[in-house]
Amino acid sequence: MFECKDIAEEASNYLDGDLPLGKRIGLFLHIVICSCCREYLQQIKQTISTVATIKPQEQHSTDTQALAEKLRAISKGEP
């Protein structure tokens, strides 16, 4: 049975579709019963789509540190 910490570990793989079917089903079943992890996955999804939007503007910049800071702020939900 999957626990919240497993969701945290596998979340990005789950969203990328990189998990074997058995694991996907296990995660899905946990998400169905656990609202915390549902919200967590939702946040990651939003972060990913935000990053996809930011990326083209950052193409000419080699300052990955600034991007990392930006991502940290986004994941914390800061403005």
Is 19 one of the binding residues for Zn ion (CB under 5 A)? no
Q: Rank residues 4 and 29 by Cβ distance to Zn ion and give the closer one.
A: 4
Is 37 one of the binding residues for Zn ion (CB under 5 A)? yes
Pick the stretch among 18-26, 33-41, 52-60, 62-70 that binds Zn ion (CB under 5 A). 33-41
Among 19, 34, 44, 67, binds Zn ion (CB under 5 A): 34
> Site for Zn ion (CB under 5 A): how many residues?
4
The CA distance from 59 to 57, in Å, is 6
Is 41 one of the binding residues for Zn ion (CB under 5 A)? no
The CA distance from 66 to 64, in Å, is 5
